[in-house]
Structure 1
Amino acid sequence: ITLALSLLKTGQKVLFCENIYGGTFRYAKKIMENIGIKYELRSDLESLKSLSSDVGAIYIETPSNPLLNITDIKKIVALAHANNAIVIADNTFMPLFQSPLALGVDVELHSATKFIGGHGDALGGVVCTNDKALGAKIGSLKSTLGIALAPFDSYLMLRGLKTMKLRFDAQIANTKKILEFLKSHEAIQKLYFAGGASEHERAVHEAQAGGCLGAVLSFEMSEKYCYKRFASLLELFDIASSLGGVESLICHPATMSHASYGEQLRAKIGIKDNLLRLAIGCEDGEDLIADLAKAFAKAKKS
């Protein structure tokens, strides 16, 4: 993220989709502002007809974190390129089934810590481009910033790549089962999943990612249930803000991954206090459902 956003110059502005990874927002707020690069969080990127001359990039996540919103990649590419801006796409949630570069994106990012590494034991990131000039600039920035993996971390990432398809398929299968379970449970006030927000988002996601559900779900819990107690009662879901590994995790975005947003901004975007995010792993799907059901039963308020 640091490397990709280093392509911007002082005086330029980047437009972010409103619902992005908390670390990206924190970088913009604490680092970019200090070096004179402006930013805006926008919920209306797809409806924009033009950009101000100072916009150097549009930065998107699709599906987004943690509300799994879908952005029309081709539409954003057309808007940006018509206004001499580049598009940066964080594709961490869809390492397979979706290829932003093929859809015209200039820079594609992955947190390799997640699905690529897959075991929660290495930190890394991937920056991709199919533009040679942009690639040379990124390569120079990489050397200048000293952003490079150590040999053993590189080995761990290569190890993860060899099983990524197998793991991702298993995680998607588990996620489908868990989604169906959650849809009918009274503890769930609202469900968030890729393509689930509207018919428009479903159609866009089907076109650019084959409708792949992925392995992350979020939900708001009913007031009849204590979300804090629920998270602590789970046995197979560890409490952590990561995702994409073989182990299943649960995260409370408001106090973990998106705490840097601040209360008012979280409320505006829709990251509520009763929102929980599940990152589905490779355990037996029925065991995961049983764990969720048991925790729900004990978390119900009397």
Structure 2
Amino acid sequence: MSNPTLHVADIPTLSSMAHHKGVKVVVDNTFAPMVLSPARLGADVVVHSVSKFISGGADIIAGAVCGPSSLINSMMDLHQGPLMILGPTMNAKVAFELSERIPHLSLRMKEHCHRAMVFATRMKKLGLKVIYPGLEEHPQHALLKSMANKDYGFGGILCLDMGTEERANRLMHHLQNCTQFGLMAVSLGYYETLMSCSGSSTSSEMNAEERELAGISPGLVRMSIGYSGTLEQRWSQFEKALARMHQTTN
């Protein structure tokens, strides 16, 4: 899944095309651990920002490269391997802490995805412009459904297009400071909902024309849906923030 527009790549088709030309396929699966298993879909290498969903606590900086033993061994080669020469070796304490969290990753991802689906559906009913692969109108809904692992949903991230950066920031202000629905932050995969206006944060290195070509609206709010509190409690907080925003506008 692309960041932040949530386009879904056709991994089997891309892998088939690449392998026909003798090219290796690398998939960044940071947005969809458990939801997708790219190696089973034809990918040769899968990478993760472990700091996100896999860690789940927003307190660890780590990454993972997953691939065949020949690749991993070559990266660890004493004389030429980038892991040996450049030094990106995981701290032992961090590795241990992650090993304690991975066993409940599946439970966490199911709840992230479940709440994202419920919120996206309800936001759509309120007339908001929602981007979420779990909604049938999403261009790659059927594709993701065909690739996804059963019972894991469609990912824990959704986007709301508020049209303008000013409206996006106002909504996030009310969600964080008035109703405590979530926190404004550029990370994702935390147990609290995290929100950011992508055009002015994670995609700010692109100019306006590049963002437009990529489909990143100035008011696009990326939400990594958390699982703290009850679902209905969080939804009530969202509705209150939206109502307050409309009141201040009027």
Q: TM-score, normalised by structure 2?
A: 0.88
* 1:199 shift after superposition: 7.0
Indicate yes or no: 2:193 matched with 1:254: no
Indicate yes or no: 2:83 matched with 1:145: no
* 1:177 shift after superposition: 1.8
- Corresponding residue for residue 99 of structure 1: 37
From 135, 138, 144, the counterpart of 1:205: 144
Q: How many residues align?
A: 236
Specify every segment of 5 or more residues in structure 2 that has no aligned partner in the other structure, as ranges: none
* 1:155 shift after superposition: 2.3
Distance in 2, matches of 1:78 and 1:220, equals 34
From 217, 240, 243, the counterpart of 2:158: 217
Distance 1:191 1:206, change over 3 A: same
For the aligned residue pairs, the C-alpha RMSD in angstroms reads 1.9
* 1:200 shift after superposition: 6.0
| Conserved 8 A contact 2:27-2:45 | yes
Specify every segment of 5 or more residues in structure 1 that has no aligned partner in the other structure, as ranges: 1-62
Distance in 2, matches of 1:262 and 1:196, equals 30
| Conserved 8 A contact 2:189-2:224 | yes
Distance in 1, matches of 2:155 and 2:42, equals 22
From 130, 133, 137, the counterpart of 1:191: 130
* 1:72 shift after superposition: 0.8
1:123-162 to 2 correspondences below 5 Å: 123-130=61-68, 132-139=69-76, 140-162=81-103
Distance in 2, matches of 1:277 and 1:199, equals 16
Secondary structure in structure 2 of the residue aligned to 1:213 = coil
Q: Which runs of 4+ in 1 moved over 4 A?
A: 195-200
Higher strand content, 1 or 2: 1
- Corresponding residue for residue 75 of structure 1: 13
Distance in 2, matches of 1:236 and 1:101, equals 36
* 1:160 shift after superposition: 1.8
> Which one is further off, 172-181 or 67-76?
172-181
Q: Deviations over 1:129-149 (max 9, x none)?
A: 12x332222332212110012
Report sequence identity in percent. Answer: 26
| Conserved 8 A contact 1:100-1:108 | yes
* 1:158 shift after superposition: 1.6
From 162, 171, 174, the counterpart of 1:233: 174
The letter of the residue matching 2:73 is A
Q: Deviations over 1:98-151 (max 9, x none)?
A: 111112211101111111110111011110012x33222233221211001212
| Conserved 8 A contact 1:195-1:201 | no
